[in-house]
Each structure stands twice: as structure tokens, then as C-alpha cells.
Homo-oligomer: A and B are copies of this chain.
């Protein structure tokens, strides 16, 4: 029986409350589909650790994760610890060390969820944002000049490499070929002079290799507007690191699912572990009360199973999520209900 070694990093706040429900679901699926999961928990990799010891994880943290098959992360962030500390101390080093160059964010309007956008109806809106996850606008190249003086400035280099862009485009085109056969590239080649025309050129190059995929490109400003105006029209949207970050959060909001959306940070070659995390944050305001919505972590676990080679098990989970939302009115507070994390999880387990 295949065993998968899973690293669990609960992180901060509600992170520790949403991972156990995900594990419960995973274990049910393992029994049903014939695989096992063995977990290693990294309970203190967190902002509290940072405040105590000056680092989010130990110096050999990345090495401790290296032999795992996948990483399931809860949430990171804590009042008093600046975001750039918590993120660049844990999340971003994991993405980069393990070449998780694809950030995959499924966007789906579930029946039983009210979208804030009139045109976003259940069944119609079902797409994915493929975000480049390790280069582009998020670079450490740059710095400040003349600190504190009137002529002070800060500069930052966006870096787009042919290899880095091509591999994420290949992933996106392949995904589009398996899904609805349509791809939209986010660009800003009318404003961003050097890097986005290069991106466009690589998109056109790759498109030539995927004649079965119908593709177009939209400037990021117009594309953000279209997410609101015509959300049902997308299939696969591919974007740079920054554009993908913006578009995926915007799309989750359009779908009414910011509290339940998952993200996968993938190393498609499986040379290194991939990481799965709910999109929601650590929610310090409700942490410790047992009322966090576990669906983001559970949906992330489904993506993890898909990546580990169990698409049928993954589908069992997303079907159960769809059922619990469509067929019951059990809801956690963020969705307008009063159920606890445990009650909501039990309801979902019953439908699994």
C-alpha cells in the first residue's frame, strides 16, 4: 500500500484548528482508496517561535521537509510580527527552495454560496488561475539609495527568465488542453516596457505548440474588470507572480469563496515536495474559539491528493464540499452560520 509522507505546518492562529479536520478527511479517503499517509508535524514553526527565537523555522528547516511527499500548511501571521517577516521567513523560502514555480488556485462558485457578483452563478464559474510563483516582480534584487535624504529612492528589479516563464506557461497550456481548451494570459505590455512584451512573446511561442488551445491575452487592468463583468468566460488564466496574486484573490472574492479557497504551490516535476495551503489567513480575531471554517484546508487537502496521484479521492472531497454547501444549511460564522469547526467537519464527513 502506497504511503505518503506529509509535513504538517499548522503555523499561526486558526492554522492549528483547520489542519486536524483536513487530516480526518484525508484518513477516510486513504482507507477508501487504498493508501496511507504518515504525518510529521512542525507545530512550532510560527510567529510565536519567531518572537521567541528570532526565526520562523530552524536553520535546517528546509532540509527537514526535503524528504516529504507534500506539505500541508495552515496559515501564517500574527499581530505584531510584520508580514514580510513571517512570509519571507517561512512561506516564500519553501516556495523557492522547492521550486514550487506553479501556484494553482481553483475558482468555483458553489451552489449554496452567495457570490457578491450578480453574473457569478454556481456551475457557470469554474476556472483556475495559474500563477508564476518564484520569479517576476517578487525579487530581492534592489534596495534603497540615500536613505533618509530628500533624494532617497527605492528600486526593485522584476526578473523574468525564459526558462522560468516557459515552464509555467507549459503547465498552464497543458492544463488548458485537459480542461476546457481555453487560456487567457494576463499582461501589461502596453505599460510595462521590458518584461511584459517578453512574456507575451513567450506566450505566443508556447501557444504555437498547443494548437488545441484557444488563447488570448488581456491587460491586467481590463482583465481585473472582466473578472467582475464576465466571470463565467474563463477556463485557465496564466499570470506573473504579482498579477497572479492579485487575480487569484480577486477571483476568490468574485466567487464568494475567499474563506474556503485553496492554493497549491507545485513543483510539477516532483523533484521536491509541493505545498498546499488555504488562502485565508491566520484570523487572530477568531483563533482559539473552534469556529474557523475548515473548508479551505480540506479543499487544499483535496488538491494535495490530486498531486499525489489520487484524482478520484480528490474528487470525493470536492464533491463532499459541494454537497455540504448545496444540501445542508450547516455553516461556520464566516458563511453566516453558527456551526463550530467540529460540527461543520462532521457534517462533511457524513456526506463523504
Contact of A155 (CB < 8 Å), options: B118, B159, B197: B159
Q: Does A192 contact B (CB under 8 A)?
A: yes
Chain B hits for A188, CB < 8 A: 242, 245
Is A193 touching B252 in the complex (CB atoms < 8 A)? no
With CB as the reference atom, state the residue of chain B lying closest to A153: B161
Q: Does A18 contact B (CB under 8 A)?
A: no
Is A156 touching B194 in the complex (CB atoms < 8 A)? yes
Is B229 touching A84 in the complex (CB atoms < 8 A)? no
Is B154 touching A157 in the complex (CB atoms < 8 A)? no
A158/B156 contact (C-beta < 8 A), A192-B137, A249-B221 known: yes
Most chain B CB neighbours (cut-off 10 Å) among A138, A139, A151, A195: A195
Is B157 touching A190 in the complex (CB atoms < 8 A)? no
Q: How far is the CA of A190 from the CA of B82 in the complex (A)?
A: 8
Chain B hits for A83, CB < 8 A: 189-190, 219
Q: How far is the CA of A128 from the CA of B242 in the complex (A)?
A: 23
A154/B253 contact (C-beta < 8 A), A117-B116, A117-B117, A221-B246 known: no
Q: How far is the CA of A155 from the CA of B136 in the complex (A)?
A: 9
Interface residues of A (CB under 8 A from B): 82-84, 87-88, 116-119, 137-140, 142-144, 149-163, 188-195, 197-199, 219-222, 224-226, 228-229, 241-242, 245-246, 248-250, 252-254, 258
